[in-house]
Amino acid sequence: MAQFRANGSEGQQHEMENRMLTLTLGDLAPDTVVLCIGAHCDDIEIGCGATIRRIAREYPSCRIVWAIFSGDETRQHESRAAARALLGEGRAELLFMKFRESHFPGQFEAVKAAMESLKSLQPGVVFTHHLSDRHQDHKMLAELTWNTFRNHLLLEYEIPKFEGDLGAPNVFFQASQEDVEQKVHMLMTQFPSQLSRSWFTPETFRALLRIRGIECMSESGYAEAFHGRKLRF
């Protein structure tokens, strides 16, 4: 299981009375697999795009894999373009499962088998949907992630939508202003199929990043937030 590590000496931490204790992922081994699980072709980018961009930059030798469980050819093309825009050519490996969107519960056995197949990647860090997400596809993948990966660092990302199920996350990754702008620009330029949705706007994505940045006193003012149910120090 990947572990977090505190920054600074104990004395330095006591001196920072007005600052939040900062932790890092520690040293990820060169062959560490960072697995990102998404039900739909824009979920990973919305939920953890800035964080994955930061990890790719800070740990250039780690392997980043996106497992996307639905999406026709148009949506797959968007995901590939988004990955290039966010991380650069060839930095992320994209796996597409092609299940029927919004009908995952009715395809339970096949979806579970597909999730089990990801074990062969032997990931060290897994990003997935929030367990309390009310979208049926998101919720099911979150449950199957926990059922499948039991000795891993699992971080559940959040996606804004009509159901209002964002909750109160407890793990925050600070995002630089550059990463925020790159994420927002990528979402608005690489997913034209989603632009007709009333919530799919720059204001939505930037606002959530700003709110989470306030909550964790981010130095940049922005952050992505996750639910970490099992963290080992």
CATH number at residue 32: 3.40.50.10320
Q: Is 121 part of any domain?
A: yes
User: What pLDDT does 15 receive?
Assistant: 47
- 206 assigned to some structural domain: yes
CB–CB of 87/57 below 8 Å?
no
- Would you say residue 14 has pLDDT above 50? no
150, part of any domain:
yes
* Phi, psi at 91, each rounded to 5°: -75, -35
Note whether residue 2 is domain-resident: no
Mean pLDDT for 137-165 is 95
Show Cβ contacts of residue 97 under 8 Å, excluding neighbours closer than 6 positions. 67, 68, 69, 70, 111, 114
**CA 14, CA 212: separation in Å to the nearest integer?**
24
Q: Are 82 and 190 in contact (CB under 8 A)?
A: yes
In a domain, 137, yes or no: yes
**pTM, 2 dp:** 0.91
Per the structure, how many domains does the chain have? 1
The answer to whether residue 200 is domain-embedded is yes
Residues 197-226: pLDDT tens digits?
A: 999 999 999 999 999 999 999 999 999 999
In a domain, 202, yes or no: yes
- State residue 16's pLDDT score: 47
User: What is the predicted pLDDT for the residue at 164?
Assistant: 87
Q: Report yes or no on 3 lying in a domain.
A: no
Strand-pair partners of 128: 156
Residue 101: which domain range?
Answer: 28-227
